[in-house]
């Protein structure tokens, strides 16, 4: 642990009617790293008032070898690691740029005039360029998690199947219900909860990937990687749902507030089963408040949950009429449907999608391995 004390411009950042308020002290401990110093330096002139205008821009595609230094700028600091940061200063302006692993980034410009700040920001955006055209089988999905420095969102381009190509992977009842969900439009949204329940291996996650593709034009789909922490921590929940004013630490432009958003919570059995109120404290209440309460008012947000629990074991408040946009049992295929899926091979009992793929791959999950013969135990163990 150490203390940084500086008596230059950065120490006279706050000014009152009587002049300088004196020295400011900044403490670094074991949780800090060089990025904290770089971020502090980038705001020096802004806080001092010599560069009172700030502009923040999201960068969609930043090349590995792109330096993003405007004419007349001088590189002051740079950091390489899980992300790349650099601090550039010029006459009357300061630029901090950051590039993340997925190629996206952010530029923060402060300048003496609004026009100069916009000029520098426009240069950086133009230099960074635009991402490659997405493939038909790809869709951008956000992944939220709580890091050591608060909620963080990372975007990945994932493979998303076309619903028409995978519809036969589901039983007739599940396929019909999922097909209706896939064709949903913003004007059709009534309930805010999408509930997919059924045994493991039936294709619930695959259906959600297809849903992200079908809804791509009007709905941003995000996955919450730590749903227990998401609902247990109000500050985490509010940051994701409402967001901070400038979103400087999120890692990219999350487009919050622009159109509908779907938050995916996978395998949340503990959160929504019948005894969830006692086991999860306020987590269930916050989920319900988000989907049909004050917390969700004014926010175009839906929540999709997958669970292996049977419907009759879920909390009544979760499955009450009007709560769900869709409540779909994703079950195994019947023997007839399984046989058809396998191209006519005889099937004697229902099979899940995972079992069907295993059977087609040469492994029959319905046949048990032969028991290992009992061996006498000798003196050497």
Q: What is the model's pLDDT at position 12?
A: 39
Q: Where are the domains of the chain?
A: 2-128, 138-329
Nearest to 129 by CA among 111, 165, 104, 146: 104
Give 377's contacts (C-beta < 8 A, 6+ positions apart). none
**Overall residue count recorded for the chain in this entry:** 381
* Residue of 330, 157, 306, 116 lying closest to 224 (CA atoms): 306
Radius of gyration of the chain (CA): 27
Of 3, 53, 63, which is closest to residue 28 (Cα–Cα)? 3
Q: Give the span between the Cα atoms of 267 and 322, in whole angstroms.
A: 22
- Specify burial of residue 255 (Cβ count, 10 A radius: 0-12, 13-18, 19+): exposed
Q: Tell me the per-residue pLDDT of 137-180, one tens digit each, with 9 for 90 and over.
A: 789 898 998 877 778 888 888 899 999 999 999 999 999 999 99
Token match 């411009």: residue? 9
Q: How confident is the model at residue 272 (pLDDT cuts 50, 70, 90)?
A: low
pLDDT in tens, 64-93: 667 789 999 999 998 887 678 899 999 999
Query: For residue range 103-144, what is the model confidence (pLDDT) as tens digits?
Result: 778 899 999 999 999 999 999 988 887 555 556 678 989 899
Q: CA-CA distance, 298 to 245, in Å (whole number)? A: 17
225-252 pLDDT tens trace: 988 888 888 888 888 887 643 343 333 4
Give 320 or 98, the one with higher predicted confidence: 98
Query: What is the structure's pLDDT at 329?
Result: 94
Q: What is the band of 273 on the pLDDT scale with cuts at 50, 70, 90?
A: low
277 CB-contact burial (10 Å; exposed 0-12 / middle 13-18 / buried 19+): middle
Q: Where are the beta strands (DSSP E) in the chain?
A: 2-5, 15-16, 19-20, 25-28, 53-59, 74-79, 84-90, 93-99, 105-111, 138-147, 150-159, 193-197, 219-224, 260-265, 301-307, 324-329
Task: Looking at the chain, list the stretches that DSSP marks H as alpha helix, in order from N- to C-terminal side.
Answer: 34-42, 44-48, 114-128, 163-166, 172-182, 204-214, 227-232, 234-241, 269-272, 276-280, 283-292, 316-319, 335-341, 353-360
138-329, CATH topology level: Rossmann fold (3.40.50)
In this prediction, residue 181 carries a pLDDT of 97
- DSSP state at residue 203: S
Question: Of the candidates 230, 212, 331, which has an alpha carbon nearest to the alpha carbon of residue 290?
Answer: 230
Q: What is the pLDDT of residue 111?
A: 95
d(CA 201, CA 375): 35
3.30.2010, 3.30.310, 1.10.4100, 2.30.30: CATH of 2-128: 3.30.310
Q: Cα–Cα distance between 174 and 352 in angstroms, integer?
A: 12
- Report in angstroms the alpha-carbon separations of 242 from 236, 271, 304: 10, 22, 18
**Residue 105: which of 70, 42, 152, 59 has the closest Cα?**
59
CA-wise closest residue to 265 among 114, 102, 127, 144? 144
Q: Using CA atoms, how far apart are residues 263 and 187, in angstroms rounded to an integer?
A: 19
Among 1-15, 89-103, 104-118, 288-302, name the most confident range. 104-118
> Same fold for the domain at 2-128 and the one at 138-329?
no
pLDDT in tens, 250-268: 334 444 445 899 999 998 7
pLDDT tens, 333-367? 999 999 999 999 999 999 999 999 999 887 765 55
């Amino acid at each position: 642990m150490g203390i940084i004390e500086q008596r230059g411009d950065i120490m006279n950042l706050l000014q009152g009617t009587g002049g300088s308020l004196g020295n400011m002290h900044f403490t670094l401990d074991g949780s800090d790293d060089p990025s904290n110093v770089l971020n502090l330096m980038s705001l020096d002139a802004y806080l001092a008032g010599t560069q009172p205008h700030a502009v923040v821009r999201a960068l969609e595609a930043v090349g590995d070898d792109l330096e993003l230094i405007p004419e007349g700028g001088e590189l002051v600091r740079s950091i390489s690691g899980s992300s790349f940061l650099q601090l550039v200063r010029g006459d009357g302006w300061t630029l901090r740029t950051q590039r993340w692993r997925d190629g996206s980034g952010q530029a923060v410009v402060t300048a003496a005039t609004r026009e100069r700040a916009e000029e520098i920001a426009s240069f950086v955006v133009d230099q960074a360029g635009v991402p490659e055209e997405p493939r038909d089988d790809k869709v951008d999905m956000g992944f939220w998690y709580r890091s050591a420095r608060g909620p963080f969102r990372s975007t990945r381009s994932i493979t998303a199947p076309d619903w028409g190509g995978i519809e036969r992977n589901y039983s007739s009842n599940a396929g019909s219900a999922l097909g209706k969900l896939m064709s949903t439009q913003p004007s059709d949204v009534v309930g805010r909860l999408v509930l997919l329940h059924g045994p493991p291996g039936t294709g619930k996650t695959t259906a959600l990937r297809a849903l992200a593709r079908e809804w791509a034009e009007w709905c941003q789909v995000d996955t919450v990687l730590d749903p227990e922490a998401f609902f247990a921590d109000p500050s985490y929940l509010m940051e994701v749902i409402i967001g901070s004013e400038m979103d400087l630490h999120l890692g990219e432009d999350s487009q919050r507030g622009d159109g509908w958003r779907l938050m995916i919570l996978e395998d949340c059995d503990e959160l929504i089963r019948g005894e969830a109120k006692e086991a999860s404290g306020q987590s269930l209440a916050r989920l319900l408040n988000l989907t049909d309460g004050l917390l969700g008012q004014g926010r175009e947000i839906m929540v999709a949950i997958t669970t292996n629990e049977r419907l009759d074991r879920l909390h009544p408040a979760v499955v009450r009429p009007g709560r769900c946009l869709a409540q779909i049992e994703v079950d195994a295929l019947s023997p007839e449907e399984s046989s058809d899926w396998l191209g006519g091979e005889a099937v004697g009992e229902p099979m899940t999608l995972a079992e069907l793929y295993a059977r087609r791959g040469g492994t029959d999950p319905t046949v048990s391995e032969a028991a290992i013969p009992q061996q006498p135990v000798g003196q050497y163990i």
